[in-house]
Chain A
Amino acid sequence: MAINHLAPEQTEQFADNIVGFARALRSAGMPVGPGAVIDAMSALQVIDIGNRSDVFTTLEAIFVKRHEHALIFKQAFNLFFRASEEWKHMLDSVPLPEQAKKKPQAGARRVQEAMSQPRMTETPQHQEQDLRLSVSDKEILQKKDFAQMSAAEITEALRAVERMHLPQAELLTRRHRPDARGLRLDLRRTLRASLRTGGEIIDIHRLGRIEKPAPIVALLDISGSMSEYTRLFLHFLHAITDARKRVSVFLFGTRLTNVTRALRQRDPDEALASCSASVEDWAGGTRISASLHNFNKLWARRVLSQGAIVLLISDGLEREADSRLAFEMDRLHRSCRRLIWLNPLLRFGGFEAKAQGIKMMLPHVDEFRPVHNLSSIQELITTLSQPLPPHHRSLIRSAA
């Protein structure tokens, strides 16, 4: 840095302060790299450090890279640089948030389960007993309702879910790449090749459009009535988050939580643990209407903008079903490419849409499917890979 109006000993104390502050931010869960510390040092040399609010803005511009971190930063700044202008090292006084404490190790649960006796709380039903005589165990597992599975069967089902691969419903983008059978002429490449033959064009190079999978946005109901299914669905969502790039996952009960980042973690157990840590209303009541409203307002424009497919996983048992619910469903439906409602209640043969909430939601979905066992999840995967409705067909091609 060319400008240096600070005395050497001051600069040193300064550096200590900034390094300490960066460490405090890091332990509060913000991603702060060493590069940012160097930036902060050089930035503070070109502004008037006597002006507290300018120092605040300067450090904020360098350390905060997401709007969500602004609040943490503000609190940390106020704690660290007390108003007394006493540039004192106060790392120990910054309270550490929960997540900075020691994490339970990934896979701990699986190890624990492996060590203990499997719990067998379930009493097999007669019908299933009969089936067991004629059909192989695997097929029973395919048809068995998640809610009736024993611990061992759930483990088996989880493994099956992890093995499932989501075929990609392809979106044609407007970007191109070399493709011998493409429709567009690649003049640049053709010309370059022609120079090798002294300007004679022998090979014509072509460009094809790049395809990529459509984004998937999953809204998973984690209220009490869904509790037997949520863990499995989370596993399913974790498996697809792992396999493709643009997947966003939201959980909702009485409020909406974005768990996409948590699910990105490699190990499913670690990911699920971190999901449940970030959700406050696990297995509580349902407020579908309010949750959808929050989603529409805060997230829809950010995650649905590129033609996403929405998976709404819920039983639709809403406590306060009124016209707002229909309104929010309609808005959601209009802002995505395709809205698929997955409802475990559909497992009952004579299911009728009697509940008020379900009646209000049904007109606004493109598809209404059961998801209560492995074969229905498999069917869902097949559906997702099929060509989308005609009015979108120009942009989409099935990978199957």
Chain B
Amino acid sequence: MTSAANTSGANTSVGLPASVDAMLELLTSRGYLAERSLATVTYLSLRMGRPLFLEGEAGVGKTEIAKVLSAALGRKLIRLQCYEGLDVSSAVYEWNSAAQMIAIRMAEAAGDTDRDQLSSDIFADRYMIKRPLLQALEPDVAGPPVLLIDELDRADEAFEAYLLEILSDFQVTIPEFGTVKAPHPPIVIITSNRTREIHDALKRRCLYHWVDYPAAERELAIVKTRVPGISAKLSQQVVRFVQALRNQDFYKSPGVAETIDWATALSELDARSLTPQVVGDTLGALLKYQDDITRMQGDALQKVLKEATSEN
């Protein structure tokens, strides 16, 4: 698979980055401020033609990187959102049975009775409804697409086992049709929120990376990029407040996505700095459990707020 990855650069619109630094630059140019470690594994997965398995809390930017990557490389983004009960017919392909049946009737009406001919006509490409995984194996003028398999932990084990063939050989076997193999393997990003452990057999085929909450400076930079109109003082307070919240014992700590939401909400409200009033009104943008919100009232709120607004 590595040799295929090396040659795949030939027919792409945007060349793959040639070093970790170039990767970092590419992501930054699209407004994704990644840690160097994340850029390294992304670069590696492109160079080695391996799927990238990203695990981490919700809202740390796992899905986002696939979107950014497809935009930056000019590739098509194909997204497969996983859920319990996801099966082959909604993930890979399905036959358009109604159209097939009409074709059979038409053949009959025309007096066409050659069975072999009929079956090869019926199971042809045009009666096939292609779902994300099959689409991702097809050649694309812009180069192999980015395949995002989102929240794999929500799918059940049976689907995970099915993915093994696709991810190691980049091919799908369809009984009536034969084997479809990707000329150039797609760029695969798999995300998981760890609501369930993913089997080691699947992880073994991927490069694994745990995406952590960003450090304060990086988060500040992210807020400034994503919420352009925000004042320096407010953005600093927002980030300090969120970072302090993550140290608390919450059921669900706020992710970067929540920080951006909150910063946007505050800037929409024309807030100049954090006050108990405005924080209390907008806490729902950060904390998503009633118990957590209840805990953040009164003294607890005052304490964190004081921490966040102490300097400046």
Contacts and interface: CB of A to CB of B under 8 A. Distances in A.
Contacts, number: 119
B203 A47 contact: no
Given A53-B37, A61-B207, A173-B84, A191 B101 contact: yes
Q: How large is the interface on A (under 10, 10 to 19, 20 to 34, 35 or more residues)?
A: 35 or more
Given A175-B85, A195-B115, A64 B208 contact: yes
B55 A43 contact: no
A191 B291 contact: no
A31 interface: yes
A42 B48 contact: yes
B95 A191 contact: yes
Given A65-B203, A67-B210, A195 B122 contact: yes
Residue among A2, A57, A188 with most chain B CB within 10 A = A57
B208 A61 contact: yes
Interface string B81-105: 0001101000000110100110011
B200 to A, nearest CB: 6
Contacts of B207: 61-62
Nearest to A172: B85
A3 B3 CA distance: 10
A118 interface: no
A392 to B, nearest CB: 16
A46 B87 contact: no
A194 to B, nearest CB: 7
A174 B158 CA distance: 12
Contacts of B208: 61-62, 64-65
A198 interface: yes
A301 B87 contact: no
Nearest to A327: B291
A333 interface: no
Interface stretch (B69-77, B189-197, B298-306): B189-197
Interface stretch (A33-41, A234-242, A374-382): A33-41
Contacts of B225: none
Contact of A43 (B48, B95, B108, B210): B48
Contacts of B95: 187-188, 191
Q: Is the interface of B mostly helix, strand, loop or mixed?
A: helix
Contacts of B209: 57, 60-61
A198 B115 contact: yes
Contact of A306 (B97, B104, B196, B197): B196
Contacts of B41: 57-58, 61
Interface string B15-36: 0000110000000000000001
Interface string A133-176: 00000000000000000000000000000000000000001111
A65 B119 CA distance: 45
B153 to A, nearest CB: 8
Residue among A2, A36, A191 with most chain B CB within 10 A = A191
Given A43-B48, A173-B84, A305-B195, A2 B3 contact: yes
A187 B118 contact: no
A33 to B, nearest CB: 7
B156 interface: yes
B173 interface: no
Contacts of B44: 43, 46-47, 58, 61
A48 B195 contact: no
Interface in B170-184: 176
A307 to B, nearest CB: 10
B108 A199 contact: yes
B113 A198 contact: yes
Contacts of A31: 200
A173 B156 contact: yes
A27 interface: no
Contacts of A60: 37, 209
B119 to A, nearest CB: 5
A306 B107 contact: no
A172 B3 CA distance: 44
Contacts of B36: 53-54, 57
Interface in B145-194: 156, 158, 176, 194
Nearest to B56: A67
B288 to A, nearest CB: 13
Contacts of B47: 43, 46
Interface in B111-132: 113, 115, 118-119, 122
Nearest to A303: B196
Interface of B: 2-3, 6, 19-20, 36-37, 40-41, 43-44, 47-48, 50, 55, 84-85, 87, 94-95, 97, 100-101, 104-105, 107-108, 113, 115, 118-119, 122, 156, 158, 176, 194-197, 200, 203-204, 207-210, 249, 251, 291
25 contacts: A2-B2, A2-B6, A31-B200, A39-B50, A42-B2, A43-B44, A43-B47, A53-B37, A54-B36, A57-B41, A58-B41, A60-B209, A61-B207, A64-B208, A66-B200, A67-B210, A175-B156, A187-B97, A188-B97, A194-B104, A195-B104, A195-B122, A198-B115, A302-B195, A305-B195
Lowest 10 A-B CB distances belong to which pairs? A174-B85, A187-B97, A199-B104, A65-B203, A61-B207, A57-B37, A57-B40, A61-B41, A305-B195, A46-B47
Given A48-B19, A195-B119, 7 more contacts: A1-B2, A43-B44, A173-B156, A175-B158, A191-B95, A191-B101, A198-B113
